[in-house]
Amino acid sequence: MRTRKEVLGVAGAGSHHWVGDGFPVYNLFPSNGVEKQIDPFLMLDYVSPTEFAPSKKPRGVGEHPHRGFETVTIAYQGSVDHRDSAGNAGTIHPGDVQWMTAASGVVHEELHERKFTEAGGTFEMIQLWVNLPKAYKMSAPRYQGITAAQIPAVYWGRGASARVIAGELDGVRGPAKTFTPINLFDLRLAAGSHVKLDVPSGHQAALVLLRGELLLNESTVVAGPAHMALLSRDGDSVTIEATADSVILALSGEPIGEPVASRGPFVMNTETELRQAMEDYQAGRMGHLN
């Protein structure tokens, strides 16, 4: 018997700050204190539509390390250049996704793409951090550059659709390779559309409303920008009615359920492992950018 997932609550951004000089972010979590309810996800930063003037110097975040998790960057407007110490490099344009597995450790930089920098324009991005189980935290780094053309979509009609980045929806599988079961869907709902979104029972899940307004399960109102609805692990679906044109990131995952020790760019299981990560970075064992 199919049952609905309960809406546990609605939360806004816990902070609004700059990351480097190119990313003015609303942090949805962990700053609002809900991170324990959305294991295996660790952090979500949203750059709401922001106008950047033309510049000669690319804005962004210079060389910095990561270990123990994955970063997922979704481009809505604007473009970002990436390169890392594992030898990976690429540019993500609107609709593209970059899925970087830091695992045992990489050093990378994220900068506004050169042409976007020179022309200026509207910039809108999400960066999501996904935890890795202990068994994979020290595995080799991996890079997935996923273009918009590689991401399949589900169409429900009446202006309702979902791009399937990871996991499966209505028999359509996304291209991203994950270490644990994860669903990541980019939903676009026109005002007046109504859909039932399947979400696996046992998954911890959230609907992140970037802009618009929603009615969930006929009773809970979520109004954007930058708000999220937390869903229960029990149940296998949620009904979504768009009362305004809306853009939503739906995320769900099987909980890892292991201890989390985090400090800055490192996410491990113990304080000892965090100290080792810092020592390895300072000793150059994560590499450097040329």
**Structural domain span for residue 140:** 7-253
Looking at residue 181, its pLDDT comes to: 98
Domain count, the chain: 1
What single string gives the DSSP state of each residue in 149-197? GG--EEEEETTEEEEEEESEETTEE-S---SS-EEEEEEEE-TT-EEEE
Is residue 260 in some structural domain?
Answer: no
Residue 49 lies in a domain: yes
Query: How far apart, in whole angstroms, are the C-alpha atoms of residue 186 and residue 89?
Result: 24
Phi, psi of 150 (to 5 degrees): -90, -5
pLDDT at 33: 83
Q: What is the pTM of this model?
A: 0.96
Amino acid present at 267: V
Interacting residues of 120 by C-beta distance below 8 A, sequence separation 6+: 51, 52, 53, 54, 55
Cβ atoms within 10 A of the Cβ of 123, count? 23
The pLDDT score that the predictor gives to residue 2 is 77
| CATH at 31 | 2.60.120.10
Residue 75 in any domain: the answer is yes
Q: Is residue 289 part of a domain?
A: no
Return the pLDDT at 80. Answer: 98
CA distance 146 to 30: 26
Looking at the domain assignment, is residue 288 inside a domain?
Answer: no
Which of the residues in the chain have pLDDT under 50? none
C-alpha torsion sign, points 1, 221, 38, 83: positive
